[in-house]
Structure 1
């Protein structure tokens, strides 16, 4: 079985869940303390506005103005939730100390008077993000995220400032351009900027998931490298109620694209409904046609449709011959509305 399909034991699953919950609770405690401290020590007069920050931090300010984050943290919100200071905290003391600093020691001291993400741990920075980012469906499940349990935090994948756009690759030539609908690259760059990712997918994910990257080099694969499918089309990196951080169950995730295989059918294939598509297919890449787990289909079928002592094909007419595929006769293998055995 492929390494990414290995099932954990119940004890290992519980351990992962407990680690994630413990990490999430720690983040909530940190974020609550951070918010309380900020609210009790800062008044409206302590906030100077992003334009003031841009006097010294011009490069970061110009980057930030182009982001979706800058649009969200606009003047319609209270002053403590606007622009730079929504994340870095009130800037008046920092500005005054910086303007009066006469040597490096004084400037270093001034830098401590405002929240600097470079000076704090990943967990503390994530707690800052969670002051706002725990309201929508994607982020509510962060406590269950394998990323959180593994010590991967927001800033490992995201940056609050504009990221450098990826180099535009050469457009595919015929016949590839007729086979694939390659995304519009300006739109792709806008998508990258709006999500504030450090790198575009799939490169960002491949930085850690090297085993999965290797699978996408196999001859039969989902078109992730070509940009037709993204990792987050199937997985929710912020957490999920499903295994492997899938956005839905094994079967339902695949049916978002492979609608014709989803049914419901009068006669269902139990493997597809109960175990899901990965009972027969490998989702990332394979050397076999149709992403099958076995080169010969009958070998795959016999994993379920034969007792342990059986040899060959358990069919009275075909006997124990060495060749032949079950789908020669059982053509509607995903399910049928007409034939219980999925026959022609």
Structure 2
């Protein structure tokens, strides 16, 4: 390259302008190539994702069709006729507030509509409305009817454990509480107020909620479903927790939550119900006994054989010493004192 074409360079570390331009051009070409490559990869990835989604959707439809064919009333080979055909005979379903339900909105988005739940209806129509040739929920067991509902609703975290729920194991299915067509409550298509639905079976708990000291489900300050999931959980009593009852209580009673530097063993190991009844009590603070001292003395006593070995009892049991919480104020746990004085 002729020397006169190069700019004058003074000092080390400078790159001639022409060389810099060449490097810039090379970098630009490399960058452009990377962009095109990334675009191609993105397009390929998008196609792959679409392909996977399509295969998954086809698999789900095939599985749903198989489950439908196993239902009483399903006719092999029947085809879909559309919701308008259903309405021509079953107008009473539409005339009783069905149009205000979430299910009605799905009819506009889904070609199958009614038949998503009741199965393909061609044989039913061709048979002059033969009730034996369509899936009728009145003829299904609670488990079978619930299976139809779970085709859509099982993906919800709220419902994913319904198959192992206490309700289903005792023959209580979705339709015991919900109405797909004519719910009287706007929330969750319930057939009645939630508390009345629960009381319909749980008479013992209904009596507990009638006691003087109770969680106020009667006025709607709290609901059964705030603590229990009626559709099932992984723990007993269908509690909304994976670690016993304690987290359910501390969702509201945060002052007792901890963790504390000094834990009270009954609270930590046995949970809140070692001292309290969760629904209602004849005693203040939902205590199991009339006085808190009687609870304390179940463990902290000098009577041989009746005390818990780990439970300290440093003073006698005279009446003047038995107002425990006058001194031990932080009985749920403390960050400052091992004897729960503060």
Alpha-carbon deviation of 1:281?
Answer: 0.5
TM-score, normalised by the number of residues in structure 2? 0.71
Query: Which residue in the other structure is 1:264 paired with?
Result: 259
Change (3 A) 1:93 1:143: closer
Query: Which residue in the other structure is 1:194 paired with?
Result: 187
Which runs of no fewer than 5 residues in structure 1 stay unpaired? Answer: 1-29, 99-106, 165-191
1:55 to 75, 80, 88: 88
Alpha-carbon deviation of 1:157?
Answer: 1.7
Alpha-carbon deviation of 1:34?
Answer: 3.0
1:115 to 2:135 alignment: yes
Query: Which residue in the other structure is 1:327 paired with?
Result: 325
Change (3 A) 1:317 1:193: same
What is the rounded CA distance, in whole Å, between the counterparts of 1:221 and 1:270 in structure 2? Answer: 25
Query: Which residue in the other structure is 1:67 paired with?
Result: 101
Query: Which residue in the other structure is 1:289 paired with?
Result: 284
What is the rounded CA distance, in whole Å, between the counterparts of 1:36 and 1:96 in structure 2? Answer: 18
Number of aligned residue pairs: 271
TM-score, normalised by the number of residues in structure 1? 0.71
Structure number with greater CO (CA < 8 Å, separation at least 6) is 1
Change (3 A) 1:243 1:123: closer
Answer yes or no: is the 8 Å Cα contact 2:261–2:335 preserved in 1.
yes
| Residues 1-344 of structure 1: pairs in structure 2 closer than 5 A | 33-36=66-69, 41-43=77-79, 46-49=80-83, 51-62=84-95, 63-71=97-105, 73-77=106-110, 79-80=111-112, 82=113, 84-98=114-128, 110-164=130-184, 192-248=185-241, 249-306=244-301, 309=304, 316-317=314-315, 319-321=317-319, 324-344=322-342
Change (3 A) 1:156 1:319: closer
Change (3 A) 1:310 1:93: closer
Answer yes or no: is the 8 Å Cα contact 1:162–1:193 preserved in 2.
no
Alpha-carbon deviation of 1:57?
Answer: 2.0
Q: Secondary structure of 1:198's partner?
A: coil
What is the rounded CA distance, in whole Å, between the counterparts of 1:332 and 1:40 in structure 2? Answer: 68
Cα RMSD after superposing both structures: 2.8
Alpha-carbon deviation of 1:56?
Answer: 2.6
Alpha-carbon deviation of 1:91?
Answer: 2.6
What is the rounded CA distance, in whole Å, between the counterparts of 1:52 and 1:294 in structure 2? Answer: 64
Runs of 4+ in 1 over 6 A off after TM superposition: 310-314
Q: Could you say which structure has the larger radius of gyration? A: 2
Single out whichever of 284-293 and 151-160 deviates more from structure 2: 151-160
Q: Deviations over 1:68-93 (max 9, x none)?
A: 2233x34444x23x3x2211122333
What is the rounded CA distance, in whole Å, between the counterparts of 1:339 and 1:216 in structure 2? Answer: 36
Alpha-carbon deviation of 1:337?
Answer: 1.4
Q: Secondary structure of 1:70's partner?
A: helix
Q: Secondary structure of 1:237's partner?
A: coil
Q: Secondary structure of 1:202's partner?
A: helix
Single out whichever of 332-341 and 52-61 deviates more from structure 2: 52-61
